[in-house]
Structure 1
């Protein structure tokens, strides 16, 4: 049998290699801030044009669900670096902890239960989370749980409109019609 020798090799190890992680509880109250992290959002806003440095416009987006619309929305925002990450909550945590200026995801697939808790934390630090159309999410029970118009999130509310105005209207219209 071909696999027989592989099992008897001394290097064979059936146990998965798992990194140890430290669990954290991050919580907040609007008007008071967030707790459970010592990091802060980036202090300088994103720079979209002109003489920009390597950290001028840092964007986080999907690692595994990238589609042409997602790529087009990110490129329209003229990033100097794009972090690819998994999990909506983790991507918003990257905003909260000062790794990125914005989270851009121009596609369906993200659900309300993915955005609800991280949006609450973003709100606690004065940020904003919407679809790519700029409309706030509704969490009423009668609403479809899919965020059909993607996600745009920033840790500082004033930065939010700068990203929204760069996303092509054609992308918003395409997602709106699906």
Structure 2
């Protein structure tokens, strides 16, 4: 399993290079510009370019992992289909071919013969990322790949990716929108238990060189398996120290949270009571989860059922490695007796079972909403206060 994690980190950087190239290579950037018109694709192109970028990233991950670990590619799942129909009515299956030239020829069939764009995209697809994380060399854990499944979200927050805002200011380190909210998510789960065991979050757009306009990114990973927990982050202040500090100071708002702008008004109101001015909003489920991983906030809460397994599996694994996790929000709030001391028994999201009676992508929706957290102690305090204020709000 250690080798799988190392390869996932490396292939996530390949994927990040593709995402960056689509914004930095002129021939590809022009296709992204077309996507901005009225929020729809320009009809002269056979497919949405953003969709092609998504699919290419997903296929690069599948093929790379399959080449290194034969058979694993059949257990990699995601949102995107790799089949397109071009403007001649021909069905084209997207894949990474043996040579750069063959890949460019295949892509040209999808992009209506746009040779320069096809060649630019094929070039970056066939480039190997030079990525090294010394901390990964110390990871040595064994588990059969037969027991593993993988959820992939190739480009999370595609609207922000296409919109491409680069001048957004962060509030206390959190970007409400912009390219910084774009993430590549790869989560590995146990096929039997459904629990996440490994996660990689690649953030392709973290800082931009003002001279070259080139972007640099960051990669975060974690592993949680059989009592072994390893992750790529080192916290400056331990959770217990921060909780003690808040307690001594008599802090009236002992938690911070990040939410979606589409969150229900009743939830927003209750969070405002619990967290005071420490409620932030941000784009992208992957990025909001990353804010919890980075320690920028304590909680990411979302009450709707419009996130999916590919949105949460990667962050869930990293958070488990840090002592946190991602829970089913509905299941937590139904615990009306307030038994939050039994956090190991709280309903974690699982990744191996479809939703009964659902069809299409809804089979893999997080139907009960979610609560992502990094500290069990702060979660328990947060839940008690949130349930109280949510009850008050529901009766006003």
Return the offset for 1:114: 0.7
Out of 222, 234, 248, the residue aligned to residue 28 of structure 1 is 222
Cα 1:96–1:40 change in 2 (3 A) is farther
Return the offset for 1:156: 1.4
TM-score normalized by the length of structure 1: 0.69
Return the offset for 1:26: 1.3
Is residue 2:114 matched to residue 1:114?
A: no
TM-score normalized by the length of structure 2: 0.34
Contact 1:152 1:164 in 2 (8 A): no
Which residue in 1 is equivalent to 2:43?
A: none
Contact 1:131 1:137 in 2 (8 A): yes
Unpaired segments ≥5 residues, structure 1? 1-13, 173-178
Let me know the Cα RMSD of the aligned residues. Answer: 3.3
Return the offset for 1:27: 1.2
Contact 1:42 1:101 in 2 (8 A): no
Residue pairs, 1:152-167, within 5 angstroms: 152-167=371-386
Return the offset for 1:93: 1.4
| 135-144 vs 95-104, greater mean Cα deviation | 135-144
Which residue in 1 is equivalent to 2:287?
A: 90
Contact 1:39 1:96 in 2 (8 A): no
Return the offset for 1:97: 1.4
Query: How far apart in 1 are the matches of 2:278 and 2:229?
Result: 31
Return the offset for 1:126: 0.8
Cα 1:161–1:23 change in 2 (3 A) is same
Cα 1:111–1:72 change in 2 (3 A) is farther
Residue pairs, 1:19-168, within 5 angstroms: 19=166, 20=208, 21-30=215-224, 31-35=228-232, 37=233, 43=239, 44-45=242-243, 51-52=250-251, 56-62=254-260, 64-75=261-272, 77-132=274-329, 133-134=331-332, 135-143=347-355, 144-168=363-387
Structure showing the higher helix proportion among its residues: 2
Q: Which of structures 1 and 2 has the bigger CA Rg?
A: 2
| 132-141 vs 160-169, greater mean Cα deviation | 160-169
Return the offset for 1:73: 4.3
Cα 1:33–1:80 change in 2 (3 A) is farther
Which residue in 2 is equivalent to 1:6?
A: none
Cα 1:131–1:97 change in 2 (3 A) is same
Return the offset for 1:115: 0.9
Return the offset for 1:41: 7.2
Higher RCO (CA 8 Å, separation ≥ 6 residues): 1
Query: How far apart in 2 are the matches of 1:100 and 1:119?
Result: 15
Q: Deviations over 1:77-133 (max 9, x none)?
A: 334411111112211211121211111222221212111111111111111210222
SS at match of 1:104: strand
Query: How far apart in 1 are the matches of 2:384 and 2:372?
Result: 13
Query: How far apart in 2 are the matches of 1:72 and 1:51?
Result: 22
Unpaired segments ≥5 residues, structure 2? 1-29, 34-162, 167-207, 209-214, 333-346, 356-362, 392-396
Point out 4+ residue stretches in structure 1 off by more than 6 angstroms: 14-17, 169-172
SS at match of 2:313: helix
